Structure formats: C-alpha cells, structure tokens
Amino acid sequence: MTQPQIPPAGIRNKFDESANDALTWSGGKRPQTPETIKKYRQSTVHEPGKIVRHPGLAGDPVPAGPFGVKTAAAGGQNITEAINTYPESELGRWKLEQAEAIYASSQREPLGHGYVRGHKVPAGLGTERPFGIAYDSRGKELARQAATVIFPTDKPAEEDPGIRNMYVRSHADYAPAEQRRRNYDWAKAGVDPVTHRFGAVEPNPERDGVRKAVQPTLDPSLQVPRVLPKLHEDYKATATDYLGKPRQLGTGDRCLPPTHTFGVPSMRKGREAGVAELMTGYYSPAEQEPDADLGKSLREGFRNQSKTGDEARSFGIPTIRTDLRLPRLRSVADPQNYGNESDAGQVLRPPLAADLGISDEQFVGLRPKEDIRQLVREAGLTLTDDEFDAAWALAADADSAGAAAATGITDTTAQPRACIDTFFRARHHLLAQTLRIPPPF
C-alpha cells in the first residue's frame, strides 16, 4: 500500500477530473454543441420559428422560388361544354348521324321510326277488320250454351305423338305413372323385356326363409306350448295401451271404490285460511295496533321525542318564514318566502287590482269618512257633498251592522267606518234607484 506522503511512481495522465472541474467551464461560458451533432438533437429539429427538417437535409440549401403545386387548371372543358354534347350546327348533327349509323340499334330502330320485327299484318286488320274471331254470343245465349262456353264439355283434340315425344325429350314431360322408355332394340339383343330377368342367378337359392325364421327346426308336427317367463307378460301388460283402459303401472289392485278422490286434501288440520283472508289478512286486534316505535328513531342520540309541553310542536323549518324579518334589500337569488308572496288561491284567482299591487284586504278594510273621501277624489270620481254623504251613510250603516253582528257588541260612541267595496255598492244602489233599474249585483 502506498503511503500518502510518498508520490506514486510513473507518469500522471489525469489532472483535475473532479465534479467541480466538470461543471466549471473555461472562460465562464458554457460550451456549445458541435454542429455535426447539433442537427440530431430534438431541440434543434423542433426549434421554434424554423422548418422541421430531416438531419440528412439539415445542411442542404433551401431552393429559391414559390413552393407547392398549382391545383387550378390553366384551361380545359367547362361544365357547359360537358352538358351540351349534342352539336348545334346542321353539319355537326349530320356528322354525328353518320358516325352512329354503323350501330345495330340505329339500323334496327332508326330515329323517328318503330322497331320493325318483320311481321306481315293483313291489309285492313285493326282498321277495317277487328282482331279475333267473330263469335255469336247472342245466339249461344239464346241456345242456353253459356255454361258450355265457360266449361267446355267437348273432348280435347288428340295431341300429335311427334310433338308429345319432342316434349318428353326436351322437358321430360312424362304423364302420371308413365314408364320411362328409352326405345332400346330388344330384338337385336335377343331379350324379351316382359319375361326376361336381369341380374345374376343364385346356383343354390334359399327357400322357406320366413318359415325358418319363425320355426328354425322346420318340424311339421304340432309344437308343445312353452311356458314363457312372467317377466315378459308383466312387461307386455305395463307397456301395452288397451283401448278404454288405463295402463297398468304395477301398483296392484288397491280395491278402491268408484267414488275415490285422488290427490292431497287442501285442508289437513282443521280450519285453514281462505283466499279472502289471505288477501285481507286475519290479524288479531293486538297485532293491528300501531308499532310502539312508530314515528320514533331507533338510533340512540337521534330521537326527536317530544318533551312535556311539546306535544303540539312542529319540528323542522317552515316553508314560509314569517318568523324572519323581510330584508330591506332582497337579493335576486333569494328564493325564500317571507309571507309577503301570494298563495295558491291568489295565483289561481288573482284579485281585481293585482296588477297594481292592491290586495282584496285593502278593498274590504274599514276606513273613516275622510279617508274614503280622499280615495274617491284621487280616483277621479266627481261627487257632490250630498251624493257622497248619501252613499257614505248607507255604507256606514251596512258595515257597522255587520261588525256588530260579528262581535256581538254595539258601540254607539265609536266613529262610523266603511270599506271601499261597500261604499261603491251603496253608490250603485242609489244610482239604480234614481234610474229605476236593477243594481248590477
């Protein structure tokens, strides 16, 4: 081991290769990436503001001039020329007809003429003489031959055998149960198809095949009856369906009477519940009582059990917060009803002056005489003092009598009051008496 104070022998090749030396650049400036390597770096290829180029084309000069390929054609056939293909000049049309005259369709069916099929129509047919054969339908009807015309009874004409053979060869039109004949020359082959048997002949044919299958010994004497196993007879009795009798299932003869009813009885142990009791239930009075914990929380610490004096208490927060004061500046996002909004009755049947913000209570509220006079004057209704006093007296008497009947107390010293509705009713009543017409209410 080398001692620290003794330098090692040989030549020293590495000088100051620590991390500090690697991160400390000479001259205080970070060295740049060489140009030969810089074109392969992603930071150089995707440098902002420059074209993304392949490293192999990084050093190639950019050609001068416009880039891309022009898509607009310099000229050619337009839409009008493509649609208007038929020539407009007489010479052009003649040239087109000469060019199309070689087609078979132009020769067979020229323009302006029908297709000539070569039929020879007799002279006057269709113009002077009608098509078809004349038939004396009137004479047939008089001779009671209409049924014969609809259902002919005449025997159809015999078909030509030559035509019949042609259809047999072309369409295999054989008659029902007709044997197919290929018209072989049996005389030339020396074979009679009526008596001849085709195929090989067995030199030693088997005889009495069915008899051997039934009686292998071929004994002509009467056979002694054999006793078969009962298993065969039992199987035959259980597997055979006899007409009008049930199949025997091997249960034996149970000696049951004809009135015997098979199956399990519905009621086994006395009286059982019927359909009505099953649908409606048959609970005892004690079982019909409400549960002891009905409406109560079963969780400890969360029970809203009423205390003494809170039997009529309503838990929760009311929908209409009449217990809160209406805010002076109410937010547009505040949906709370503070009791100042209309109820369902007013929404379905709005008051007479609901569009003006006046409720029905203001029409039936009792007011003193001067308040009624001021309201009439501001409403623009011109009344003399005598007309107003007459209507006021009648309205005050009616409202005072109604208030006394409602409270049961008659106060003669109280100031008379009346409502707007009663005042105008009294006014209409006086006008109806003056004009001698019935009042409108």
Each residue's pLDDT tens digit, 177-200? 888 888 888 888 888 888 888 888
Residue 389 lies in a domain: yes
**What confidence score (pLDDT) does residue 362 get?**
85
pLDDT band for position 152 (cuts 50, 70, 90): confident
| pLDDT tens digits, 387-401 | 898 889 888 888 877
pLDDT-based confidence at residue 303 (cuts at 50, 70, 90): low
Q: In three state form, how does the secondary structure of 374-408 look?
A: HHHHHCCCCCCHHHHHHHHHHHHHHHHHHHHHHHC
pLDDT band at 271 (very low <50, low <70, confident <90, very high): confident
- Report yes or no on 196 lying in a domain: no
Average pLDDT over residues 222-243: 84
Given a cut of 60, is residue 261 above it in pLDDT?
A: yes
- 355: which 2 tokens? 């569009």
3-state DSSP percent of the chain in helix, strand and coil, to 5: 35, 0, 65
The per-residue pLDDT for range 17-66, each reduced to its tens digit, is 677 777 777 777 777 888 888 888 888 888 888 888 888 888 888 777 77
Q: Has residue 396 been placed in a domain?
A: yes
Residue scoring higher pLDDT (261 or 95): 95
86-95, 145-154, 392-401, 416-425: least confident range: 145-154
Q: Considering only 73-87, 179-193, 206-220, 395-409, which range has the smallest mean pLDDT? A: 395-409
State percent of the chain over pLDDT 90: 3
Query: What pLDDT is recorded for position 9?
Result: 75
The reported pLDDT for the residue numbered 410 is 58
DSSP string, 91-138: HHHHHHHHHHTTSHHHHHS-TTS-------PPTTBTTTB-SS----HH
DSSP tag of 19: H
pLDDT of the residue at 412: 59
pLDDT at 366 over 80: yes
DSSP state of 144: T
pLDDT tens by residue, 283-293: 888 888 888 77
Residue 209's Cβ-count burial label (10 Å; 0-12, 13-18, 19+) is exposed
In-domain check, residue 346: no
Domains contained in the chain, number? 1
pLDDT band at 143 (very low <50, low <70, confident <90, very high): low
Domain annotation covers residue 86: no
Q: What is the mean pLDDT of the chain?
A: 81
- Yes or no: say if 366 and 419 are a contact pair by the CB < 8 Å rule: yes
- Its pTM stands at 0.28
pLDDT at 73: 62
**Measured distance CA(96)–CA(108) in Å, rounded:** 18
Residue 383 lies in a domain: yes
Q: Please indicate, yes or no, if residue 371 is contained in any of the structural domains.
A: yes
pLDDT on residue 156: 73
Query: In this model, does residue 301 exceed pLDDT 70?
Result: no
Q: Between residues 3 and 169, which one has the greater pLDDT?
A: 169
Sign of CA dihedral 3, 7, 10, 15: positive
Residue 354 falls within a domain, yes or no?
no
| pLDDT reported for residue 249 | 74
User: Which residues neighbour 186 within 8 Å (Cβ) at sequence distance 6 or greater?
Assistant: 192, 193
The whole-number pLDDT of residue 15 equals: 62
Tell whether the model's pLDDT for residue 1 goes beyond 60: no
Arithmetic mean of pLDDT, 404-422: 70
Three-state SS for 276? helix
Q: Specify the higher pLDDT residue, 326 or 137.
A: 326
Cβ-contact 416, 410 below 8 angstroms = no
pLDDT score, position 94: 92
Structural domain for 393, as ranges: 366-406+415-435
pLDDT band with cut points at 50, 70 and 90 for residue 14:
low
